[in-house]
Structure 1
């Protein structure tokens, strides 16, 4: 690693709390010798391809001073004292004893520690030269040290309090139906996945019928990832895949699976709705989520879902409906899947069609369903779908005072050809509703979360994550959109580098 054998210090691996591992670390500390030291994927023994084989070089002197030079294409962060500096490729900075290096921003943390023997000679000379000056400035130094200690303690406590809040967060069982859950992301510290779920947490139990609605479907990954699916006697997959992918799915899918691509009444677009409907002997589980049924979406991206279980209706309430039921059945009817008959043990024979889902009791639904279907809508159909449906629902709601002119955060994975008129129309729908004093909430300020090139490059997947952000440059670079742009930032949850992909989500935020 170095052309010299005189050891100057070490790079000591740290965890995400900037602490040394108390137990045996998976990565050993790296010796730093005087001269040029190459740090990269080879000598770190990690497989993260965001790290170059020659990621950076540290040129150290025998007194412990060193220069860090970024050799790879991805940025490096150096934390020195109170400052956090990002270095791009080919940039250089001087590092000192105790500085913390993030080889990838937020990941692969190392502390530069100078060996005592390397610094002792320089320390003695410095003490001799500065004895009188140190005496004269003693009071000032003490005051500065106290100030710095207080500032560092405050920052440390703030960071710890944020992380502790995440670590201690638990969702009570009775609150799960009204909670938006994040999906588990691989490679994050355990506390960052607190109360998160995987696909096997969602699809489980004695399922009798499963309807899986999605855009992309990878059967070769899905079945092993969800062993319960292979035991379900009746599975309907609603998808938006092209002809070539459909041919692959047909070769891989279990024989009892039915494939259906919902029809498109217009010449562009595709079926993109992500939901699951799982029928059990005791009722139905409905999941609305944001992830394609592919490995990277359920493991490498910040995705989310809502789910709730509903019981079968009893004989006295078969004709009783609800807003949620009407929304659900109306949307399922638009998908036009081929009906099929099933025999459910101890329950009887049923035809699986949209009206089948009227057999469940949604009176305890904690949400309203806002669906979108492709096409041009007018007349009575204008308020059935999309943001106009959302507007009609919110207009019936009363909100706390803090929601007046609440900011509107829009997040999606693809960006169409927007114009100012439509953005105002959308904001009007998102801002609908009254406060408790019966005053309209007022228009909130919209913000569009959209990743930068750097966000993509430094994400868990690296540049490969860019394939999940399909949008022509002419759509993104429209001048009027500049005032809406906002960045994804989630350091306190440990998810800044797991690219957000809460596609199709419009978040009404206080």
Structure 2
């Protein structure tokens, strides 16, 4: 897992980062499958290496209304806009399936739209699988099942589009056992019965209930145990915290030991000043579609748990976050980490209806959950998830401990929003909302007019 490169940063902050071009240039591609929301086709094609640009078959499953006019210039491209059955839903997944001429493939799950600004000036992250080979006859005869393959094919088949059904069949030919992650997906629709726990936050709840074992008993936790939700957009969650704290919150708090109601949820979302001082100035707020009306309705409970976007350790305080992450911290240790396209919204994660017997989801979303249990090593006594950008020297390496580094871009401990007072600056104490005019000048000398 890596952050993406950000333009105009010091080289030390772009170490071990990736670009769209680097992701597409590892080998010669025969097929490139892109799941995404927004697409700048001409720019995207410049990122495809010359050896594949005109020969690889490229399929876009997208969320834009119309096929780009320039598509006729690229006869090797094809476009699919999936049907969204519920109003206000979107195809928000960000993923790639890359098939190579040596008969291997690779899966990429990420957070960036296929537009230049997302890859040049935003904080984004990318998870990449190893190069995957086709299953051997011996593997097929063994009858072993891989959860990653099962979940990926289930997600692809849900579109119920012939070309994607064939894609799922092709994907099922590969061995995914080296993928040390769990897919967490959302698909639009009303899910009930056997499907109830297969999608959205109930899928996450079910996975944590069966896979995540708390390392500490409640009595052993000497420091705060909490969950961080960091997003680029906040939806209409309601006038009270029932969905955030009791429904979605229960899913986040789950474990094999059950739901621990004492685990607090903390939010990270940029302030107005975060945006004004960003690399793009006010334009950096265009990727942060939080409405003022939703903030006014939700401020009574959200204001207490909001933290500013501060990412000095990764050099990305001024690179507005389009990344979405959910992280559990116990005793200052990372217990699990989720990278996803899903923002903090009912549309993305789903909302329970009919006394909890059905889950309504509006969006397509996809993410990867990282758990220590996935990396069990017989030669090591313990597995720990560490933060690649931890500059506090807290990470202690041991011959008996296997460490798995994830790129958490924001600084820990978190920095709460400053308290409001009569003389406080609202730009530092209020979250960014994109439908309010701003008369203060950004670093380019511009005001903001929505």
Specify which structure has the bigger relative contact order, considering alpha-carbon pairs within 8 angstroms and separated by 6 or more residues. 2
Per-residue Cα deviation, 1:228-266 (whole angstroms, up to 9, x for no partner): 5414432111000023xx2435345x1011100111111
Per-residue Cα deviation, 1:405-424 (whole angstroms, up to 9, x for no partner): 63211122222110311112
Q: Whose helix proportion is higher, 1 or 2?
A: 1
**In 2, Cα distance between the equivalents of 1:463 and 1:222?**
25
**In 1, Cα distance between the equivalents of 2:292 and 2:216?**
40
**In 2, Cα distance between the equivalents of 1:225 and 1:210?**
12
Paired residues of 2:271 and 2:309 also in contact (CA < 8 A):
no
CA positional deviation for 1:206: 1.5
Per-residue Cα deviation, 1:7-55 (whole angstroms, up to 9, x for no partner): xxxxxxxxxxxxxxxxxxxxxxxxxxxxxxxxxxxxxxxxxxxxxxxxx
**In 2, Cα distance between the equivalents of 1:337 and 1:191?**
44
Counterpart for residue 214 of structure 2: 399
**In 2, Cα distance between the equivalents of 1:279 and 1:449?**
36
Paired residues of 2:41 and 2:71 also in contact (CA < 8 A):
no
CA positional deviation for 1:443: 4.2
Give the secondary structure class of the aligned counterpart of 2:138: coil
Counterpart for residue 34 of structure 1: none
Q: From the superposition, tell whether residues 508 and 287 of structure 1 become closer, same or farther in structure 2 (CA, over 3 Å).
A: farther
Paired residues of 1:321 and 1:358 also in contact (CA < 8 A):
no
Match of 2:308 among 487, 492, 504: 487
Counterpart for residue 458 of structure 1: 277
Paired residues of 2:41 and 2:68 also in contact (CA < 8 A):
no
Counterpart for residue 448 of structure 1: 267
Paired residues of 1:262 and 1:336 also in contact (CA < 8 A):
no
**In 2, Cα distance between the equivalents of 1:422 and 1:457?**
31
**1:260 correspondence with 2:260:** no
Give the secondary structure class of the aligned counterpart of 2:129: strand
Give the secondary structure class of the aligned counterpart of 1:327: helix
**In 1, Cα distance between the equivalents of 2:134 and 2:260?**
38
Q: What is the TM-score when the length of structure 2 is the normalising length?
A: 0.66
**In 2, Cα distance between the equivalents of 1:446 and 1:330?**
30
Counterpart for residue 230 of structure 1: 53
**1:373 correspondence with 2:226:** no
Matches within 5 A, 1:67-86: none
Per-residue Cα deviation, 1:422-472 (whole angstroms, up to 9, x for no partner): 1121121112114xxx57655421112111111111110110111111122
CA positional deviation for 1:501: 1.0
**1:300 correspondence with 2:121:** yes
Counterpart for residue 107 of structure 2: 286
Match of 1:334 among 153, 158, 168: 158
Q: From the superposition, tell whether residues 381 and 298 of structure 1 become closer, same or farther in structure 2 (CA, over 3 Å).
A: same
Paired residues of 2:277 and 2:318 also in contact (CA < 8 A):
yes
CA positional deviation for 1:224: 1.1
CA positional deviation for 1:402: 8.8
**In 1, Cα distance between the equivalents of 2:184 and 2:34?**
18
**In 2, Cα distance between the equivalents of 1:293 and 1:439?**
39
Which structure 2 residue ranges, 5 or more long, are not aligned?
Answer: 335-450
Match of 1:421 among 242, 250, 275: 242
**In 2, Cα distance between the equivalents of 1:302 and 1:294?**
14
**In 2, Cα distance between the equivalents of 1:287 and 1:444?**
31
Paired residues of 1:208 and 1:279 also in contact (CA < 8 A):
yes
Q: What is the TM-score when the length of structure 1 is the normalising length?
A: 0.58
CA positional deviation for 1:493: 2.1
**In 2, Cα distance between the equivalents of 1:375 and 1:406?**
34
Q: From the superposition, tell whether residues 306 and 190 of structure 1 become closer, same or farther in structure 2 (CA, over 3 Å).
A: same
